[in-house]
Amino acid sequence: MLIGVISLFPEIFQPFIKYGIIQKSIKKKLLSIDFWNPRNYTNNKKYKVDSTIYGGGGGVILKAEPLIRSIEQAKLKIRNNIKLIYLSPQGRKIDTACINSLLCKNIILICGRYKGIDERIITNFVDEEISIGDYILSGGELPAMVLIDIIVRLIPGVLNNILSNSTDSFFNNGLLDCPNYTKPRVLNNFKGQVPKILLSGDHKKIQQWRLKQSLGATWLKRPDLLKKKKLTKEEKFLFNEFKTSYFKKN
Q: What is the pLDDT of residue 164?
A: 56
| 149 and 170, same domain (yes or no) | no
Same domain, 230 and 111: no
Answer yes or no: is pLDDT of 126 > 70.
yes
Over the stretch 151-176, which tens digit does the pLDDT of each residue have? 999 998 898 755 555 556 555 578 99
Q: What is the mean pLDDT of residues 78-107?
A: 93
Asked whether residue 103 is domain-assigned, the answer is: yes
Residues 126 and 27 in one domain: yes
Please report the pLDDT score of residue 228 as a whole number.
86
pLDDT above 80 (res 135): yes
In terms of domains, do 15 and 68 share one? yes
Mark which of 110, 128, 153 sits at the end of a domain: 153
Contact by Cβ (8 Å): 99, 86? no
ω into residue 15 within 30 of 0, thus cis? no
Task: Tell me, yes or no, whether 158 lies in a domain.
Answer: no
**Which of 129, 153, 177 is the last residue before a domain boundary?**
153
CATH number at residue 221: 1.10.1270.20
In a domain, 120, yes or no: yes
In this structure, the answer to whether residues 26 and 56 fall within a common structural domain is yes
Q: Are residues 33 and 137 in the same domain?
A: yes
Q: Are residues 16 and 88 in the same domain?
A: yes
Whether residue 45 sits in one domain with residue 110: yes
Domain count, the chain: 2
Is residue 160 domain-resident?
Answer: no
More confident residue, 231 or 192: 231
Per the domain annotation, does 46 fall within a domain? yes
Report the pLDDT value the prediction gives residue 169, as an integer from 0 to 100.
Answer: 56
Both 43 and 63 in one domain: the answer is yes
Q: In this structure, are residues 142 and 9 in contact, taking their beta carbons and an 8 Å threshold?
A: no
Q: What is the pLDDT of residues 36-90, one digit of tens each?
A: 999 999 988 888 999 999 998 889 999 999 999 999 999 999 989 999 999 999 9
Q: Are residues 36 and 115 in the same domain?
A: yes
Q: What is the CATH number of the domain that holds 62?
A: 3.40.1280.10
pLDDT at 19: 95
Domain of residue 52 covers 2-153
Query: Quick one: what percent of the chain has pLDDT higher than 70?
Result: 95
The pLDDT value recorded for residue 192 is 84
Q: Residues 110, 218: one domain?
A: no
Domain assignment of residue 28, yes or no: yes
Q: Which residues, in sequence order, are CB contacts of 44 under 8 Å at separation 6+?
A: none
174 and 199 belong to one structural domain = yes
Q: Does the residue 184 lie in any domain?
A: yes
Q: In this structure, is residue 159 part of a structural domain?
A: no
| The last residue of a domain, from among 91, 126, 153 | 153
